[in-house]
Amino acid sequence: MVDHRKAGGGITRRIALKTFGAAAGVAAAPGFVRYAQTQSSAPIKIGFQCHRTGIGAAYGRWYERVTNATVKLINDAGGINGRPIEIVTEDDGTDPKRGSEVIEKFANQHKVDLIYGTLFSHVVVGSAPIVGELKIPYYVVSEGYHVASGKLNRYCIQPGITDVKAQVRSVAPWIAQNLGKKVTLIFPDYAFGHDHRDFFEPAIRSQGGEVVAKIAIPPTETSFTRYIPQIPRETDVIYHVMVGPSVLTFVKELGEFFGSSGPQLFGFIDSLESVALDSPGLEFLEGSHFWEGMPRYAQPDQPDYVTFYREAVGLDENGASTDDSRDVSAAAHMFGCWETLYVIKAAMEASGYRGPEDRAKLIEATEAMTDMEAGREHPQGRKLFNGKIHQVFGEQYISQVKSGKLEVVHRTSIEDGLYEPEGDYTAMPF
Amino acid sequence: MAFGPYLLLASLEGLVTAAVLALMALGLSLVFGVMRVVNVAHGEFYMLGAVIAWWSASLISGHPALGFLLALVVSPLIVAAIALLSDRLVLRRLNYEPQATIVATIGLLYIIQQLALTFYGPDARPVQAPFDMRLALPWFGYSAYKLAIIAASIFLIIATWIGLTRTKAGLVMRATQSDPDTAQAFGIPVDRVYAVVFALGAGMAALAAVLIVPIQQAHYLMGQDPLLLSFVVVIIGGLGSLRGTVVAALFIGLSDGIISMFFSPTLAKMLATLLVALVLVFRPQGLFGTAAR
Amino acid sequence: MTPGTKALWVHLCLVVLLFALNFLLPEYHRGILSRVMVLSVFAMGYNLAFGYAGMLSLGHAMFFAAGLYGAGLTAYHLGWSVWPAFGAGFAAGTILAVIAGILALRTKGVAFMIVTLMFAQTFYLATLYFTTYTRGEEGLVLPQSARALSLFGISFSLTDPTVRYMLALVLLALVLFALLLLVRSSFGRALVAIRENEERMRMLGYDVFANKLSALIVSAAVCASAGAAYALLFGYAGSGFASIQYSILPLLWVLLGGAATTLGPIFGTLFMFYAVDITSSYTDAYMVVVGLALILLILYFPKGIAGAIRERWLPWLP
């Protein structure tokens, strides 16, 4: 990986700050010279929109590590079409406004071939308009339903991680069969939480179950005890998706309230990504179940390619960094970076990508993809890509907390998550 | 759950919220009351207090109470020292000019937040409560530590009140608050009083954070909301009125808790926020403030 | 030349310079400048209330967001075209300012700060509460088809960088000259006098409340225009713009650029953008550098950029 920071132009830009007038001179300065992509061995530049600061920083750190590990592997194996990948990272502060500015920076200043790697939905949605205007491919690793909804544009694509609608539909049958049919939903009162609410209810109903209560928690909340009485007595299962740092409080307060009795718990690991499960206060989760995009803890029966992936990324068997056992990974999401980069590689090779003039061909080549076999390039499992809605489908993991570790108890099939497409990007012009 | 126990729970939760608010607001009411500067970085002192609490608790193995006690001593001291330094280096040179102070403390906020992110990291980390006890009431269970927070809050409020009204230092502070120029004329080193008040306020924010962090978590972005809430409490209570601060905290805490029984959570938050705003609209000097001059 | 004409020339030159920059700047900086211009308008609106009339509001995100959502929601759900959508955003902000102003202006000083803060917080929570329509913090992408502007029978697409730059410049120029006129009118002078001594103005027979309310409404209308323009020009509306952060940012921009100066808000917004953009290219810990820059700037230029220029070199600068 070449760090873009070393790429000249610094002093001239500082002058630009001082006065408007100098700006004209800047145009001619070395840092602003257009990158001439004539040599065939010139690196393929990928702009990595990274949550280094802001609320997404815990994820961003791991997205960055996985990205670096994957790029190193690809480059060591000869790169893409004989050209190495160069990652250019910009921090978006996990903010949609800054996110869209960063997109402009990638496209117009760094002159990258494509942009990749965004996680938080609001940054993806905030960046989507400018991506469509600049006509630059935007490969996100976000699990939001935004891409699949058909409401973005032809340049936005999510080929490395499944979306929340598919995830919710996949786990609903298992919940109804194993935990209970009367479900209370606890979710944050914003779009991601509402997606869970809206997709889960029909899914559980078709299994003969029902949602008995929906408790939407305002994102500014730091204490939850007072909402717990709103959970109806008849509830079999509490389905919880809490995002943000207050999740530990939430779990602890559930424990204080219910003690050893109480309904079953089913949660989405999103809230506990990069949080150690043996943190004080999380004892109450023992025996409860979680959705995982990919198992955090090494499983006894895991295939070789998973072991390979974990070693390359630097994960110990508890899913923490091999350098620091307290540095827990975002295992359920970050595999998406790995797989997305391999999808980009495959699509570039299939389309014979040479440079920005082939961007449309790159998108078409990605759209043409369907089956992706499990293996080193897809360690999370087999995938099925739907080119119409630019969204990949895959298997989900359901794990149980046993002695403070997550153990996979069920693996859903791709078919469990499939749904009718709501849009068709291939019908949109470039 | 039946209405009675539910109301009990909502009131208990409201009381805890009130205690937390009062704790957070104590330091700010000093700084804001005496110096009349809007310290935007006050929430970051609070955050630092929590982060240092995590750090000092992780130094000591053994019973969690030991680490907690260490944090209770170390954290306010370190934070007060940092505040003292920033007062001497920045605020004093600005002559505490209100507008310049806002920009400078926003700068301070950025610096502290970034340093916390760089050295502490983006994760939310828990600190264990000194004791872990669940009170099993007939209808629901409740955390005993939360009740301890209410007690600690009452204790600290009384201590502050005694400090302000019964000691010479308190007298000097009150004199500076009511009229800095006259205080200066009577030989009170206003400049030094400001420095001490600023450090003391930051130390109290850190102390509040140490007490609160076992029921929340230390996170580098945790400073923002408490900052706003404590501002609200101080203003609603009436500037410079400790009694007002306590009543305002109770009012906001309980209304937030009880309104949430009847409406969906976000709507309840909206209504509680509006209610607080309207109190101020119809009583601009705050609940216990004297009418503006 | 009288100070007044000199000032007019300076402002004209700035607008001409900005026009020329569209052809001189590299693509990236041109794109960024269109954003900075729209946000400067937000700061200019805030400056009228805070800098000139002395109303320290912590709730102006609500007016910006009202413009953003007024335009964004009507364009997205009702398919309104650019002009009516912009009008809806403008109206939403203005009406909100009338209601919020009548209530909040019963207070002043710190109480005014908190009341505006709480109103804005309520508005922010409302954008989340109505997630069904707003998509909450995730926000809405306005379809490109909704961003076509017809002007004198010609159709322009707001997705075109040049069109966007010119429209942002037109908005900036209109607001800049309107505010220049306003602050030099008797109304503007009355506002400054109220800021300096409200009691005296009251005794002189001025209706302080009406003056302040009018200032707040104009300020909010300008901020709402900026919000509406942001939604339509950049195609996105999300709750983040209603959060407290966007109430503090215009305050910061104005203080950096120079409160109660017509050009200050532009300088402040520009400075802050490039401070983040440039330092983040050199270090991950760029907020430390930005924070230090803010502190140094305020230590040595306590009146902000334009304020310092006025104090040291150009006393006639408005």
Contact between B217 and A248 using a beta-carbon 8 Å cutoff: yes
Report the complex ipTM: 0.91
What's the average model confidence in pLDDT over A254-273? 87
CB contact (8 A) between residue B269 and residue A258: no
Predicted confidence at residue C108, as pLDDT, reads 86
C-alpha to C-alpha distance for C197 and A273, rounded to whole angstroms: 55
Task: Using the structure block, give the residue that is written with the tokens 């110096």.
Answer: B35
Q: CB of A279 within 8 A of CB of B126? A: yes
Select from A61, A216, A255 the Cβ nearest to the Cβ of B265: A216
Please, what's the largest Cα pairwise distance for chain C? 58
Helix (H, G, I), strand (E, B) or coil at C135: coil
* Nearest-neighbour CA in chain A from C190: distance (Å): 34
The confidence band for A18, taking pLDDT boundaries of 50, 70 and 90, is: very low
Beta bridge partners of C237: C140
Query: How far is C173 from C167, CA to CA, in rounded Å?
Result: 10
Residues of C within 8 A of B99 (CB-CB) are 255, 259
Share of chain C above pLDDT 70, in %: 100
With a cut of 60, say whether residue C222 has pLDDT above it.
Answer: yes
Interface test with B, best of C46, C249, C253, C287 (most B CBs within 10 A): C287
Query: Is A38 buried (19+), middle (13-18) or exposed (0-12) by CB count in 10 A?
Result: exposed
CATH 3.40.50.2300 domain residues, chain A:
34-162+334-392, 164-292+395-417
Burial code of A202-228, b = ≥16 C-beta within 10 A, e = fewer? ebbeeeebebbebbbbbbbbbbbbbbb
Beginning with the edge strand found earlier in the chain, give each strand of the sheet holding A44-50 in spatial order.
A85-91, A44-50, A114-116, A138-139, A156-157
What is the model's pLDDT at position A12? 40
Q: Are B60 and B70 in contact (CB under 8 A)?
A: yes
Contacting residues of A for C135, CB less than 8 Å apart: 125, 191
Partner-chain contact C114 B277, CB within 8 Å: yes
Q: Per-residue pLDDT for C1 more than 60?
A: yes
Residues C290 and C275: beta-carbon distance below 8 Å: yes
Is the confidence at residue A400, as pLDDT, over 70?
A: yes
pLDDT for residue B291: 54
Please tell me the total count of domains within chain B. Answer: 1
- Between C314 and A28, residue with greater pLDDT: C314
Contact residues on chain B for A246, CB-CB shorter than 8 A: 124, 216-217
**Cβ separation of B123 and A274 shorter than 8 Å?**
yes
Confidence of residue A1 (pLDDT cuts 50, 70, 90): very low
Residue A80 DSSP label: B
Of A111, A195, A97, the residue nearest A419 (C-alpha): A195
**pLDDT higher for A19 or A159?**
A159
Helices (H), B121-223: 144-166, 168-178, 180-185, 190-212
In chain C, residues with a C-beta closer than 8 Å to the C-beta of A109 are 26-28
Q: Please check whether residue B293 lies inside any domain of the structure.
A: no
> Structurally, how many domains does chain C consist of?
1
For the segment B105-111, the average pLDDT, to the nearest whole number, is 93
Residue-range definition of the domain harbouring residue C135: 3-242
Strands C140-141 and A405-411: unpaired
Chain A residues 322-341 with a CB less than 8 Å from chain B: 327-328
Q: Is B282 helix (H, G, I), strand (E, B) or coil?
A: helix
pLDDT tens for C22-33 read 999 999 999 999
User: What is the pLDDT averaged over residues C252-258?
Assistant: 93
Q: Is A53 in Cβ contact with C236 (below 8 Å)?
A: no
Q: Is residue C232 over pLDDT 50?
A: yes
Judged on CB neighbours under 10 Å (0-12, 13-18, 19+), C204 is exposed
Contacts of B274 in chain C (CB under 8 A): 118-119, 122
Q: Is residue B288 part of a domain?
A: no
Q: Determine the longest span between alpha carbons in chain A, in angstroms.
A: 72
Name the pLDDT band for A414 (thresholds 50, 70, 90): very high
* pLDDT reported for residue B292: 46
Check pLDDT > 60 for residue A29: no
Distance from A338 to chain B by nearest Cα, in Å?
A: 22
Each residue of A345-365: b (16+ CB within 10 Å) or e?
bbbbeebebeebebbebbbbb
Q: Distance from B84 to chain A by nearest Cα, in Å? A: 28
Give the confidence band of B225 by pLDDT, cuts at 50, 70, 90: confident
State the CB neighbour count (10 A cutoff) for residue A402. 12
CA C264, CA A166: separation in Å to the nearest integer? 50
Instruction: Please choose, from the candidates C216, C217, C222, the residue with its C-alpha nearest in 3D space to the C-alpha of residue C172.
Output: C222
Could you give phi then psi for residue C142, rounded to 5 degrees?
-75, 130
* Interchain pair A256, B142: CB under 8 A: yes
Task: Flag whether pLDDT at B128 surpasses 60.
Answer: yes
- Residue A191 has its nearest CB partner, among C35, C125, C135, at C135
Of residues C48 and B29, more confidently modeled: C48
pLDDT tens-digit readout, B239-277: 778 888 899 999 988 888 888 888 888 888 898 889 889
Nearest to A225 among B9, B114, B126 (CB): B9
Q: What is the largest CA-CA distance in chain B?
A: 63
Whether A2 contacts A43, CB under 8 Å: yes
Give the pLDDT confidence score for residue A397 in this predicted structure: 96
Q: Tokens for C210?
A: 């009406």
CATH number at residue B193: 1.10.3470
Q: Do A245 and B124 touch (CB under 8 A)?
A: yes
- CATH code of domain A34-162+334-392: 3.40.50.2300
- Least confident interval from B192-196, B282-286, B287-291, C22-26: B287-291
Phi, psi for C154 (deg, rounded to 5): -105, 145
> Best interface-test mutation with C: which of A133, A134, A192 has the largest number of C CBs within 10 A?
A133
Distance CA C103, CA A296 (A): 53
Q: Which of A249-258, A357-366, A381-390, C38-47 has the lowest mean pLDDT?
A: A249-258
Residue C227's contacts (CB-CB under 8 Å, 6 or more residues apart) are C42, C63, C64, C65, C66, C67, C68, C69, C70, C71, C89, C93, C241
User: Who contacts C307 (Cβ-Cβ below 8 Å, separation ≥6)?
Assistant: C258, C259, C260, C261, C264, C301
Among the partner residues B109, B114, B235, nearest to C110 by beta-carbon distance: B235
B290 inside domain: no
- CA separation for the pair C218, C97 (Å, rounded): 9
Q: What residues does A405 pair with on adjacent strands? A: A402
**B289 found inside a domain:** no
Average pLDDT of span A296-312: 95
In order, the DSSP letters of A128-152 are HHHHHHHT--EE-----STTTTT-S
Contact A281 B126 (CB under 8 A): yes
CA dihedral C311, C313, C316, C318 (to 10 degrees): -60
Between B268 and A171, the higher pLDDT residue: A171
pLDDT confidence of residue A4: 44
Asked if C43 contacts C268 with a C-beta cutoff of 8 angstroms, the reply is: yes
Contact A90 C280 (CB under 8 A): yes
For A226-358, strand residue ranges (E) read 237-240, 264-268, 289-292
Mean local confidence (pLDDT), C166-183: 96
Fold of A164-292+395-417: Rossmann fold (3.40.50)
Q: What is the DSSP string of B184-205?
A: HHTT--HHHHHHHHHHHHHHHH
- The residues pairing with A88 across neighbouring beta strands, listed in sequence order, are A47
A398/A406 Cα distance (integer angstroms): 9
Residue B287 lies in a domain: no
What pLDDT was estimated at residue C90? 98
Backbone angles phi, psi at A161, to 5 degrees: -150, 145
Instruction: Sort out which chain C residues have CB atoms less than 8 A from A189's CB and list them.
Output: 128-129, 131, 136
Q: Answer whether residue A9 shows pLDDT above 60.
A: no
Whether A388 shows a pLDDT value over 90: the answer reads yes
Rg from Cα positions in chain B? 19
φ and ψ at residue A83, rounded to 5 degrees: -110, 140
Chains contacting chain A through 3 or more C-beta pairs under 8 A: B, C
Distance CA C244, CA C7 (A): 34
End-to-end, the C-alpha distance of chain C in Å comes to 15
Chain B hits for C256, Cβ within 8 Å: 103
pLDDT digits (tens, 9 = 90+) for B159-188: 999 998 899 888 888 888 888 888 888 888
Does the CB of A221 have a partner CB in chain C at under 8 Å?
A: no
Q: How far is A259 from chain B (nearest CA, A)?
A: 7
Residue type present at position B141? G
Which of C153 and A36 is assigned the larger pLDDT? Answer: C153
Higher per-residue confidence, C135 vs B126: C135
pLDDT category at A243 given cuts 50, 70, 90 is: low
Number of H helices, E strands in chain C: 14, 4
A247 to chain B: which residues are within 8 Å by CB? Answer: 124
The Cα B107–Cα B100 span in angstroms is: 11
Query: Which pLDDT belongs to residue C111?
Result: 87
Question: Are the beta carbons of C118 and B102 separated by less than 8 Å?
Answer: no
| B14 within 8 A of B257, measured Cβ to Cβ | yes
Task: Dump strand ranges (E) for A192-329.
Answer: 210-217, 237-240, 264-268, 289-292
> How many whole angstroms separate alpha carbon C190 and alpha carbon A45?
57
Q: Which chains touch C (3 or more CB pairs under 8 A)?
A: A, B
| Interface probe with B: pick from C108, C298, C305, most Cβ of B within 10 Å | C298
Instruction: Note whether C17 contacts A53, CB cutoff 8 Å.
Output: no
Q: What angle do CA C85, A99, B41 make, to 5 degrees?
A: 100
How far off is chain C from A24, nearest CA to CA, in Å?
Answer: 6
pLDDT at site A25: 40
Average pLDDT of chain A to the nearest whole number: 88
Torsion angle of C-alpha atoms A215, A219, A224, A226, degrees rounded to 10: -60
| pLDDT at position A336 | 97
- Predicted pLDDT of residue A27: 40
Report which of residues B83 and A270 the model is more confident about.
B83
Helix axes B42-59, B190-212, angle to 10 degrees: 50
Share of chain B above pLDDT 70, in %: 98
Tell me the angle at which helices B42-59 and B64-86 cross, rounded to the nearest 10 degrees. Answer: 140
| C28 contacts A122? CB cut-off 8 A | no
Task: Assess contact for A363 and A137: CB atoms under 8 A.
Answer: yes
Spell out which residues of chain C touch residue B223, defining contact as CB-CB under 8 Å. Answer: none
Residue of A nearest to B117 (CA): A53
Contacting residues for A385 by C-beta, under 8 A, at least 6 apart = A159, A343, A366, A369, A370, A371, A372, A391, A392, A393
C188 versus A246: which is more confidently predicted?
A: C188
Q: Report CA-CA distances (Å) from B90 to A187, B101, C249, C276.
A: 44, 9, 21, 22
Element housing B35 (H / E): none
Torsion of Cα atoms, B266 then B271 then B275 then B276, to 10°: 10
How much is the mean pLDDT over chain C?
93
Q: What does DSSP say about strands B141-143 and A138-139: parallel, antiparallel, or unpaired?
A: unpaired
DSSP label at residue B62: S
Alpha-carbon distance of A309 to C100, in angstroms, equals 56
Domain that holds residue B148: 3-282
